[in-house]
Amino acid sequence: MSRWLLLTGAILAEVVGTLALRASTDHPLWIFLVVFAYIAAFALLGLTLRTGMNIGVAYGIWGATGVALVAVFAMGIFGEALSVGDVIGITVIVAGVALIESGSHPRRQDRTQVGQA
């Protein structure tokens, strides 16, 4: 299975779990979905790492994408507001993850040297 598909599943499970956690403050039965979703999120993140994706990249994308999606969905589902500062902060997080991801691939010369070691 594709590492990106596994990571996408981990992100979606984490977002569902976090939104269910918020819902459980008003309706305690949502806690069952919280537990299931977080177990699924961590299992899928572990499988993503097993494919060879760097942990910094996987966790960075997982965390940043999760934060952004939860913030957006919380606006629609729970009526929570996003300030300009929130939007800027999320943008900075996403930009940081993009920088980490772009730097995680060894240059062609580095790959050759790694293969010779």
Question: Domain locations in the chain?
Answer: 3-107
pLDDT tens track for 40-99: 999 999 999 999 999 988 998 899 899 989 999 999 999 999 999 999 988 898 888 888
DSSP code string of 55-71: HHHHHHHHHHHHHHHHH
User: What is the band of 106 on the pLDDT scale with cuts at 50, 70, 90?
Assistant: low
Cα 70 to Cα 60: distance, rounded to the nearest angstrom: 15
Neighbouring CB atoms inside 10 A of 70's CB total: 21
User: What is the band of 105 on the pLDDT scale with cuts at 50, 70, 90?
Assistant: low
80, amino acid identity: E
What does the block give as tokens for 27?
A: 């309706």
Model pTM?
0.81
Give the model's pLDDT for residue 99.
84
71 to 4, 89, 97: CA distances (angstroms): 22, 11, 17
**Nearest Cα to Cα of residue 63 among 22, 101, 104:** 101
